[in-house]
Amino acid sequence: KLSDKKEQEAGAPDPDIAEKEMETKTLVRQEKKVENETRPGKYGPGKFMGSEPEFLLPEEVSSSLRQLVPPANNVQDRFTSLQKRNMLEVRKRVAPHRKYKLKQVEKWRKKLPEEIDDLVKMKRKKKKIKLSE
């Protein structure tokens, strides 16, 4: 009995406290396991971000089902369902971009009439020079 008291004073763990800690750890582990089973797994570089289901308030619901408009897109719902079930990988949408900048060319129609006359004269001169050679 003296050795038990010395161990407790020296900082040895109490068996009752150790058992309680083990029980809490196992409970936490079980809760995490249940949570991980319901959460979608990781497939691909992105993380699945599920949205909350859309619903209508009682004031917004009409009395006739014929007048009720479906709030979501079926294709989008199917796509997110496939991502949630790890049949499609989750990625960020890539915006399209050009490799090279577009060249800006000034059209003849947008030039002033005097400028067009000058350009036509210059072209005629070039043609005459080519013909004379």
- Tens-place pLDDT, residues 66-98: 877 776 688 888 888 888 887 888 887 788 888
Angle CA 112–116–118, to nearest 5: 120
Contact 124, 131 (CB under 8 A): no
Contact 41, 86 (CB under 8 A): yes
Q: Distance (Å, rounded) from C-alpha 37 to C-alpha 34?
A: 5
Give per-residue pLDDT as tens, 10-25: 555 566 778 888 889 9
Nearest to 118 by CA among 132, 108, 105: 108
Nearest to 48 by CA among 57, 38, 58: 38
